[in-house]
Structure 1
Amino acid sequence: MYKIIFVLVFAIASSLGLYAQEFQGMAIYESKTSTSDFKTRMQGNKDMTPDMQKIIEERMKKMFEKTFILNFDKSASIYKEEEKLEAPGQGSGGMRMLASMTGGGGTFYKNVKDKSYTVDKDFMGKEFLVKDSLPNLKWKMESETRVIGGYNCFKATAVRHASKTDFRNLRPKKEETATVKPADAAKKTSFMDEMDMPKEVIITAWYTPEIPVNQGPENYWGLPGLILEVNDGKTVILCSKVVLNSKVKADIKAPTNGKVISQKEFDETVIKKIEEFREMNQGRGGNGGMHMRIGG
């Protein structure tokens, strides 16, 4: 009798362990970044025609409004932009570079068990494999609740350092720092001259304990439930659909192509290239230059 019970318990435990091992889910996220600051700068630029503004706004919309898919299990996940057919001329190196600097352009793998992430980046025609530790976000649990997609969610907030290579963090410079001297007025040709990067951003996340995985979009993690929404003030990433234990399983593995580099080294590489562009355009009289203050 005891032998039969033991066998039954062992079988149930084994099946539960197998279920936990095979458990997998998929979440679709819509990412949208506010471009009101850019539009204000364009409207104040007398040299920019309405047609030019319209073209730029359409391109910005494609860069700052994206759909991502998160495939996850108990310990790891891959987060990748939904593949779409590009219109002729939209797949240029410059557009791909900007895409990688606005939250897309690669497969973001994170392993919450060993607290690491790997993401492949295509920058200036070179492939990089960024490997580093996941950010240690000190989440503050709030009392507010809401329902997202039928799931009961709880609010959590955190403060994190802003990425110097994420253009979504751009903001207008303070009035005193945006003042232009008469001698420099002729060189000011781009609204980017008046943009700045913050040092820190306040993160608001909504997570659901009903899906008990330590996962979320991009490099967000560390809450007792799947993160269904993230808001940093300029960018909102909202989950629109969740599918659990689908018959079709995703291959949740880290990307492997590219030169292995740390996040700090990658940021330094990008910033160096931006400065080279800035100096090159200044040498041409400032026409079309990208003058951006980093880390202000």
Structure 2
Amino acid sequence: MKYLYIVVALVLGVFFKAEAQYAMFAESGVVSYDKTMYMKNIVRKQYVEKSDERSRPFFQAMIPNLPENAVLKKELRFKGDETVFGPVKQELDMKLKQTIMQLALDFEATTFSNLKTKEFQRYNDIVGQKIIIKDSVKNIKWKITDEYREIAGYNCRRANGITPDSIYVVGYYAVEIPIDGGPESINGLPGLILGLVVPSQHVSYFATKVEISNAVVLDKKLLDNQKIKRMTRAEMEKQFVEAMGNFMNVETVKYIMKLALL
């Protein structure tokens, strides 16, 4: 009987060890994020202060009716070296939704990243014009700190980064999820980014729920349509600046592009 207890203990030990290893080194799952846009700050800093005398009154008149912030639901699916990040259907106040569209603050884009090959694609529907950005994932310069923060049940470590287009970002990553991806195209840390703050863009992303699962499916159908025009980030920015430059200050248009191409 004594030997039977030993065998059972060993079997249970192996089982729980395997479960713990899976929990600690998750390779596939779904993360729900809240994307918070600080609306009044965005309009004040990026539209009013950068506008000309002709358009400034229009943007100033918007501020009293804006909420302090707007929260959009996003989702990241990850499996191995691949991630898909995109919007989640939600009910938004119609006036707020129209304002977000009017100011081009969110294109409800879907982003696919292969973190091994560095392949990056983003599907955009910009007022009915469908575009796929085909480029490489951003090479971000990170400096890891000793600061920690709990996000969605994970003890996440802070890192400060600079993107190739000189945007300062703060990322909080979970080493228990060894995927070097995150929201939008932000990547390159030794764990999945569950919290992301972009001060200059007045936007943040924080995970609200993490579900680990072996049954994750990455839907890439939006990227399969070969009739949709492909272009690089630089090509899209140039086209957008040319198209919107007559209606907005160029600096504001560049802000929109940095936010859209994050």
Structure 1 counterpart of 2:198, which letter? D
| 1: CA distance, partners of 2:147 / 2:195 | 14
Shift in Å, 1:155: 1.1
Structure 1 counterpart of 2:120, which letter? Y
Equivalent position of 1:36 in the other structure: 41
Equivalent position of 2:12 in the other structure: none
| 2: CA distance, partners of 1:91 / 1:52 | 14
Equivalent position of 1:206 in the other structure: 172
| 2: CA distance, partners of 1:82 / 1:139 | 29
Displaced runs of 4 or more, over 6 A: 48-51, 86-92
| 1: CA distance, partners of 2:203 / 2:94 | 28
CA contact (8 A) 2:76 2:84 kept: yes
CA contact (8 A) 1:77 1:252 kept: no
| 2: CA distance, partners of 1:61 / 1:73 | 32
Q: What SS does the corresponding residue of 1:77 show, helix, strand or coil? A: strand
Cα-Cα RMSD: 3.7
Structure 2 counterpart of 1:266, which letter? M
CA contact (8 A) 1:74 1:214 kept: no
Identity fraction in percent:
23
State yes or no: 1:270 paired with 2:240. Answer: yes
Structure 1 counterpart of 2:119, which letter? S
- How many residue pairs match? The answer is 222
Extract unaligned runs of 5+ from structure 1.
1-14, 163-199, 279-288
Equivalent position of 1:244 in the other structure: 212
Deviations 1:132-168 (A, max 9, x none): 0111011111121222222111111111244xxxxxx
Shift in Å, 1:85: 4.9
Structure 2 counterpart of 1:157, which letter? N
CA separation of 1:66/1:75 partners in 2, compared to 1, >3 Å: closer, same or farther? Answer: same
Extract unaligned runs of 5+ from structure 2.
1-17, 50-54, 256-262
| 1: CA distance, partners of 2:125 / 2:56 | 35
Give the counterpart of 1:80 among 86, 106, 111.
86
Structure 1 counterpart of 2:218, which letter? D
Give the counterpart of 1:69 among 51, 57, 75.
75
| 2: CA distance, partners of 1:76 / 1:49 | 40
User: Which deviates the most, 106-115 or 45-54?
Assistant: 45-54
Shift in Å, 1:231: 0.8
Q: What SS does the corresponding residue of 2:167 show, helix, strand or coil? A: strand
CA contact (8 A) 1:96 1:105 kept: no
Q: TM-score, normalised by structure 1?
A: 0.63
Q: What SS does the corresponding residue of 2:209 show, helix, strand or coil? A: strand
Equivalent position of 1:134 in the other structure: 137
CA separation of 1:139/1:103 partners in 2, compared to 1, >3 Å: closer, same or farther? Answer: farther
| 2: CA distance, partners of 1:27 / 1:274 | 34
Q: TM-score, normalised by structure 2?
A: 0.70
State yes or no: 1:110 paired with 2:68. Answer: no
| 2: CA distance, partners of 1:145 / 1:49 | 38
Shift in Å, 1:202: 1.3
